[in-house]
Structure 1
Amino acid sequence: MDVPALLRFATAGSVDDGKSTLVGRLLHDSKSVLADQLEAVEAASARRGQDTPDLALLTDGLRAEREQGITIDVAYRYFATARRRFILADTPGHVQYTRNMVTGASTADLAVVLVDARNGVIEQTRRHAAVAALLRVPHVVLAVNKMDLVGYRETVFAKIAEEFTAYARELGILDVTAIPISALAGDNVVEPSAHMTWYGGPTVLEHLETVPVTDESTAARARFPVQYVIRPQTAAHPDYRGYAGQIASGVLRVGEAVTVLPSGRTSTIEGIDALGRPVDTAWAPQSVTLRLKDDVDISRGDLIAPTALAPTTTRDVAATVCHVADRPLTVGQRVLLKHTTRTVKAIVKEIPSRLTLDDLSQHPAPGQLVANDIGRVVVRTAEPLALDAYADSRRTGSFLLIDPADGTTLTAGMAGDAFTEHEWSL
């Protein structure tokens, strides 16, 4: 399998597990840090009385983060090696910021979950693994950090790796790569460790450079959420009518029969314009304008899909969700549901269960979900929606629940059952 040019990955772990230090070490040792950035970190470290640069400061950019010594916001970093380009989301470790991990991992191809070798797998580790499974992140790296503080003992690493891998398997995560590291000392981050000769696997960077990733956006069924209707009405194009947006997934071709949802009207793609030029084929995530053969009533929020592979529409949305707001989500609550470019009024009909992270059992009919809870909901919408199952498409199978009063994002939802084949079942 060819290695794609770009890998999106996220880091997660508990407070003080060393995520920011790992990211800083990764950037520093891969020579992805500019000289002025390193000088700024060295100066900030000296002001704190530290003899060596604190590489965590390369990602903890907010003043509050530096003062408290914790990561609060999701820090995005872009870097590249000779083999691959990377987009990294360094997510917070504190339990109250678990929702930020949902943001950082929602588009990730891989998640790096850090564990302190002294503490092993704890509740926050299990929470991060559950979120990675919920978001269908296909690859997980277990980075057992601070191995220098446990004497680089293989038995400590092996016990943690076995426990985490077993838990991840229950969640449905099948690809777990465990790597013993010391982010502070640089062991097995970019260069192999001289202290852990018993480990024969890849370093963190080596694994990131070589892990095979399937581009879901082009492999999935074609979906085109309409963002804007273009009617220039110029002398050169008096009858031009185009539907602009970004292809969410799949490939669209001129001459293809398509269905417009939720109306169900059908037509044929007469033309595709990309960057002002006609093309025969377009694919995700390109932004294009579609021209249809028939004069169909289409507006922002409609979804265009190949007729043979069009999704069904529904007003009852059953989903697994992660609640991200401080205010609870309750049965009977009125919300807005945003799916791609479409936003509709909705009401929370049921909250059938909430996930218990310790044993992956379900707490039935909790009545509400509070911040960082993972649970199931059933939402009734005022208008029909064309959703895919999240297992089939992370883009068109996801949605947000929004407070209609002030626009606050309440809940991130994944249509369908994220854990159908595993322990958490009704």
Structure 2
Amino acid sequence: MVYDLAVIGGGIVGLATALEVTRRYPALSVAVLEKEDGLARHQTGRNSGVIHAGVYYQPGSLKARFCKEGVEATIGFCRENGLPHEQCGKLLVATEAEELARMAALQERCMANGLPVERLDATELRRREPHVRGVGALFVPTTGIADYGAIARRMGELIEAAGGAILTGREVSGIREEGGEVVIEAGGRTLRARNLIACAGLMADRLARLCGIDLDFRIVPFRGEYYRLGSDRDQIVRHLIYPIPDPGLPFLGVHLTRMIGNYVTVGPNAVLAFAREGYRFRDVDPRDLAEMIGYSGFRKVIRTHLRSGLSEMWNSLSKRRYLALCQRYCPELRLDDLTPYRAGVRAQAVLADGTLVHDFLIRETARSIHVCNAPSPAATSAIPIARDLVGRAEKRFGW
């Protein structure tokens, strides 16, 4: 059988894309290829579960547009399919007077992105969150929480109900375009499709290279480590609690997150991983590590962010230092409040000059479209990303 479309990647972006195709073009045959034995095993199933409002993103960027559209789309999908979600809102807390100027800049960014935002003084912050300390905060009410693994699995069910195929255990080892088709070697089998959309996350650059794309980036993995608070702390916060991010650092900082399931996590940090699927400090993949070290863009990133990178590594190794990050805005937390929780690995595209790619990055060939960088808020934005990809496919593939 020759499928009309093969989608590589059983995470939420690939599944949302396949689902969008089945809805717009029910006559097309669609197959989703996933290398694991189930869906949502990596970034989708190991993130913080936040429905991001779009606070931080450059106005006019794909991130800003897709995230804002994604809030409504994600909540709508959850409602339609009876999936748990909650729009609990987020507080960005300034813990020192020096952070108030950065907080004001974030407020302006919210307004530029068309987001509702409310500025709170220390008294109002304390009233709303008795366990949180700060000199001020921004309240963003549209932020929420969901279970993205559950969303992805439901998308898979809907794809199959529409006649699509979900093919797990199919790790892609080869792709070539020949005779008007894309020939895919996956899991020891050959699959043929007229067109391909790759949403491969941590393996995005490798699949793009298989399709002959001249890469101007590489994927560098960063592990985000979390702790879960004990059950006696389940009601410690009513909202999501975030620090005011340092604009000189590439990640947002450790935060308190209410989760679906009525518990609270702390995290993530951002530690260089020594394997693309390195969920533990001791996980090392020689191929992944050699590729990173051999890439000039990686070496430049390390030089630029050496101090912050070493600090993150030390925070990872020292539970006490990790706790200190949380105590800045929640001082009553103690070491025994932090219990182990699953880690995630973020796929970060890095250009050859050492620039971290912050927006979505998409590349194309005659018969394929590749999502090469889909950083947070990709889970929130999955449905709008899918709509955009199908729009590109209509033009590229002549649907």
With normalisation by structure 2, the TM-score equals 0.26
Please say which structure displays the higher CA radius of gyration: 1
Determine which structure has the larger strand proportion and give its number.
Answer: 1
Determine which structure has the larger helix proportion and give its number.
Answer: 2
With normalisation by structure 1, the TM-score equals 0.24
